[in-house]
Amino acid sequence: MRHLLAIDDLGTDGIDDVLRLTDSFVEVSERSIPKVPALRGKTVVSLFYEDSTRTRLSFETAAKRLSADTMTFSVSTSSTKKGESLRDTVETIEAMGVDAIVIRHGSAGAPWNVARWGSSAVINAGDGWHEHPTQALLDSYTIRQHRGSLEGKRIAIVGDIKHSRVARSNIAAFTLQGAEVTLVAPRTLLPPNTDGWPVAISNDLDATLAKVDIVYLLRMQLERMTDALVPSLREYTARFGLTRRRADALGDDVLIMHPGPMNRGVEIAAEVADLPNAVIVDQVRNGVAVRMAVLYLLLGAGTEWGAEAVGTATSTGGDRG
Ligand code: CP
């Protein structure tokens, strides 16, 4: 694997490879000194043209735990403000000597252009409404951690599907692993054409919740809405929010997931996000180990010292605290 741009780059076997390797990096992350030398001498740059807390910090943490050097690009203090193009920015950064570019951009397809222009490994950290593959990997890992596998699991993805790259990557990842996915949303928050999507579609949340194993809530992306797509947020919450009443009607074994950031009180009631069966913090925690696995597969696999570092981590427990 040279780049990670979309879930289909991985396929079922690739997803399995990443998630198996993630187990080793979860173990590394639990050590008193959570660090291995696998990517010593490599440089990873975060090139984020959109805001992020989880993805950016977890990629930077993952790179540091693998002993890579990191560079952070901040749009607000960069020459982008003087009109420098994405291509010139990428070529400038590459001239300094980088091995991987982690890019988030508001335009769908931008990571594919970066992969074409440069020689670094490119990881898509979210492009427009299109894909967010590492989110789907960490979500898949979290479901496997709590439920063993995704095979045959019934998963409802609820909310703003239209604007959601998380939904697109998760539909691909979940169905490749054998889950049955139902999208629940008002017509205005679905893409105009879902022909060929391997999903069922409903606008009745209560009926869907009665027969799911996992409910995955999406953030209302108010910043991407140019039209009034719902009559009001209060009405949206009444029909499509995971309210306390709806959460109480779910079995305790139904996982509640959300990619973050949450609008507490809109798509999920404030207290529902903190229930024992809500695994939102686990999703964030697993994000670091999953991103370590992705960086390792792109930059470290095949190097003798890299294999040794991970081998040591799994076989001896290394310097466990
Ligand atoms: N889930 C997610 O991508 O969060 P951030 O926007 O904080 O990175």
pLDDT (tens digit, 9 = 90+) per residue, 175-201?
999 999 999 999 999 999 999 999 999
Please report, as a single letter, which amino acid is at residue 250. L
* 3 state DSSP class of 13: helix
* pLDDT tops 90 at residue 226: no
- Are 217 and 189 in contact by the 8 Å Cβ rule? The answer is no
Any atom of ligand 1 within 6 Å of the Cβ of 41: no
Any atom of ligand 1 within 6 Å of the Cβ of 54: yes
43-48 and 214-217 strand pairing? unpaired
199-202 and 180-184 strand pairing? parallel
Distance from the alpha carbon of residue 277 to the mean position of ligand 1, in angstroms: 21
Environment class of residue 257 by beta-carbon count within 10 Å: exposed (0-12), middle (13-18) or buried (19+)? Answer: buried
Q: Which atom of ligand 1 is nearest to the CA of 259?
A: 1
* pLDDT tops 60 at residue 312: no
Helix axes of 54-65 and 11-29: crossing angle, nearest 10 degrees: 70
Q: Best substitution site from 47, 48, 49, 52 to test ligand 1's pocket, by max atoms within 8 Å of Cβ?
A: 52
Q: Which atom of ligand 1 is nearest to the CA of 125?
A: 3
At 4, the pLDDT band (50, 70, 90 cuts) reads very high
* pLDDT tops 50 at residue 315: no
- Are 31 and 318 in contact by the 8 Å Cβ rule? The answer is yes
Any atom of ligand 1 within 6 Å of the Cβ of 284: no
Any atom of ligand 1 within 6 Å of the Cβ of 52: yes
For 317, left (φ over 0), alpha (ψ -120 to 50), or beta? left
Q: Which atom of ligand 1 is nearest to the CA of 132?
A: 3
- Its pTM stands at 0.94
pLDDT in tens, 74-126: 888 999 999 999 999 999 999 999 999 999 999 999 999 999 999 999 999 99
Angle at 269 between CA 265 and CA 270, to 5 degrees: 80
Distance from the alpha carbon of residue 238 to the mean position of ligand 1, in angstroms: 25
- Cα 28 to Cα 162, 297, 303: the distances in Å are 37, 16, 19
Q: Best substitution site from 55, 163, 168, 219 to test ligand 1's pocket, by max atoms within 8 Å of Cβ?
A: 55
- CB 138: neighbour CB atoms within 10 A? 30
Angle at 157 between CA 182 and CA 126, to 5 degrees: 125
